[in-house]
Structure 1
Amino acid sequence: MEHNVKLTSAEMAVLWTSYMNDSLSMCVFSQFLQHVDDDDIRPVVEHALSLCQRHIQSYRQLLTKENFPIPVGFTDEDVNLGAPRLYSDAFYLKYIDGMAMVGMTSASAALAGATRDDVREMYTSLLMESVALHNTAIPILLDKGIYVRAPIISTPSQVDFVKKQNFLTGFFGERRPLNAIEITNLNINIFRNCLGEALLLGFAQTAQSKKVRQYMERGKDISAKHIKVFSDILSHDDLPPAVSWATDVSNSTTHTFSDKLMMFHVAALTGAGVGNYGIAIGTSPRRDLGAAFLRLQGEVMLYGEDGAEIAIENGWLEQPPMADDRTELARHK
């Protein structure tokens, strides 16, 4: 028996979000491709762009079959391919690796929430492609000496168990050393903020609207502040602090990406940042770390809310699929 199974809200959500993100990435990678010089990095940029183009076609086919309106997303109007280089080749590669990691997370979540065979097959493929892109980028980053490994700590000599309540403390008195999970949380969030700081620096230089430019500058400052907070915690345990990516940004002030695209990109990264901080809160036993992540998470959430207001004011915020407003339907019966 053949069943005409409709898309669930979870499937609509991931398809809509994926379309928006891949249409944005097509603009970004197309701009990168105009300037990449490194013979090792160029094929990675070309491959990343081809993946996005193929994904867009897949989303279109599936959504069209379901009579689902194709999102506007981002188009050639949102990127100036004739603009000068805004970021270095090294940034291109680090950015692609960062987006591949975001892709792994989002594809895993999409796969977990999908029910229909065609949607699950699509996101299984997308997950594998993100993994492959990450595995392609890492060796090149290592070969060029631009990949910053996580801090190295001593291998435990034996299995041990926590014996004292002060394992959880951190506000007063002597703090215990960071554990490997806490170091990982700090390191991941330093990486994300280094990416954000450099990206926002370029966005601030090239934004057309004064309000958008100020918003990008504020976001850059927030990222720099968070990098310092996390780096200081690592430094207290004699672990290496972060290295800024600001030198990967050129001095170009030419309009490169539309303000609409930049605001959406920052919103997406802000949402991912809130999620990353949430994971850190839940997996960092030392109370001072959880409190620090919680405080900084609130700052990021407020920043994201202010960005949404700017996008709404300018008519840039495309609305995701919504549940029926039953009260409104009844009112107009």
Structure 2
Amino acid sequence: MTSHIPLSSSELATLWMTYQQKTMSQRLLEHFIEHAEDEEAKEILTSTHNKIVHYIERIKQIFEQEGAVVPVGFTEQDVNTEVPKLYDHLFDIMFLRLLKQMSMGLHTLHLSMAHRDDIVSLFQELTEFTQGVYSKCVDYLQKKGVLVRPPVVSMPKEVKFAKGTGYMNGMKLFSEKRALNTVEVAHIHYAVETNILGMQMITGFAQAANEPEVRKYFIKGKELSKKIIANYTQLLLASDIQASSTWAGKATNSQIAPFSDKLMMYCTSIFCSFGLGSNALGTAFSLRNDLPLLLIDTAKDILTYGQEGRKIMARNGWMEEPPQMEDRIDLTK
């Protein structure tokens, strides 16, 4: 029995974050389901939506049992399913795949921060569920021929060790840079792939946003994604590696918002946080000296952009505050 064991601050925090993200996903899926053009895609979207609603209710029950206020998250007011679709065919599953990529990492992290049996069980189930949805999305997109695959490389025939510091060369003015290794290419390719989808997403948001300030912010985000794609593609081309792309998932010409500005701003904030995390991994595992400098510079741009977005959300009353620790200084005044 765990009812007598109070939630820790970490468990409360991870449940709160999960509730925000799942209610956002619920509303996004409602629009995608309404406009799904393919029965298989609709089945993936619908089954995912139903399971997400189940987990939202479970988290809600935990809050209520603990005497904690249930977060607002995102409600029926944040989606309008009766407007034209904002994105072309296949964007829905491409976008769901990316959401599940983010969720897999978050659920695993949150699992490692949980101690109470029911919370551990919840995040174990969420991890398994998310992996299953991700696999369905990959299978579907591969069948449609639109899944962007990383570059192919010749298989290594011998083990090599770096001799001296020349392997990390990338900064010296007159020396030739070595070709990228597969670890570096993996992170660069992933950044290009996710920023292409992010650019498509935010293009639709820019067309449909209601507030001029929000529309301007999304246009700025689109330009930032284009800059990142161009810089990282150039890195690949310098090593004679062709960057992959896809024709699918573009925004339509609709200018009618299916989502509230609040939801679109939060979704963009999540993408910024995910981009920073991915960037940090790329920086940590890049061995050529010039790569971390570019990645750090990109991270600064993403961080600045994300902070600007949070200010817009706060000014408009769209930023729901996480549960707060007791202010002991204030309580002892």
Q: Deviations over 1:246-292 (max 9, x none)?
A: 86210000121101111111111111111111111111111111110
The Cα shift of 1:2 comes to 7.2
Unaligned runs of 5+ in 1: none
CA contact (8 A) 1:197 1:245 kept: no
Please report the TM-score for the alignment, with normalisation by the length of structure 2. 0.96
Query: Aligned residue for 1:44?
Result: 44
The Cα shift of 1:40 comes to 2.2
Query: Aligned residue for 2:201?
Result: 199
Query: Which 10-residue stretch deviates more, 148-157 or 202-211?
Result: 148-157
Q: Provide the alpha-carbon RMSD of the alignment.
A: 1.4
Distance in 1 separating the partners of 2:147 and 2:332? 58
The Cα shift of 1:125 comes to 0.5
Query: Aligned residue for 2:135?
Result: 135
Query: Aligned residue for 1:254?
Result: 256
Distance 1:247 1:28, change over 3 A: closer
The Cα shift of 1:64 comes to 1.0
The Cα shift of 1:198 comes to 0.7
Distance in 2 separating the partners of 1:86 and 1:130? 25
Q: Deviations over 1:293-330 (max 9, x none)?
A: 00000000000111111011011100001111111112
2:241 to 233, 239, 242: 239
Amino acid at match of 2:320: E
Query: Aligned residue for 1:94?
Result: 94
Q: 4+ residue stretches of structure 1 with deviation over 4 A? A: 244-247
Query: Aligned residue for 2:118?
Result: 118
CA contact (8 A) 2:206 2:216 kept: yes
Amino acid at match of 2:294: A
CA contact (8 A) 2:207 2:215 kept: yes
The Cα shift of 1:32 comes to 0.6
Query: Which 10-residue stretch deviates more, 204-213 or 34-43?
Result: 34-43
Amino acid at match of 1:311: M
The Cα shift of 1:63 comes to 1.2
Amino acid at match of 1:121: S
In structure 2, the residue corresponding to 1:106 is in which secondary structure? helix
Distance 1:206 1:2, change over 3 A: closer
Distance in 1 separating the partners of 2:184 and 2:81? 42
CA contact (8 A) 2:150 2:244 kept: no
Query: Aligned residue for 1:278?
Result: 280
CA contact (8 A) 1:281 1:294 kept: yes
In structure 2, the residue corresponding to 1:250 is in which secondary structure? coil
Query: Aligned residue for 2:192?
Result: 190
Amino acid at match of 2:102: V
Query: Aligned residue for 1:218?
Result: 220
- Overall identity of the aligned pairs, in %: 30
Query: Aligned residue for 1:328?
Result: 330
Query: Aligned residue for 1:300?
Result: 302
1:269 aligns with 2:271: yes
Distance in 2 separating the partners of 1:122 and 1:85? 33
Please report the TM-score for the alignment, with normalisation by the length of structure 1. 0.96
Query: Aligned residue for 2:31?
Result: 31
Q: Deviations over 1:118-150 (max 9, x none)?
A: 001000000001111111111111111000111
Distance in 1 separating the partners of 2:180 and 2:230? 17
Distance in 2 separating the partners of 1:186 and 1:78? 34
Distance in 2 separating the partners of 1:243 and 1:156? 26
Number of aligned positions between the proteins: 331
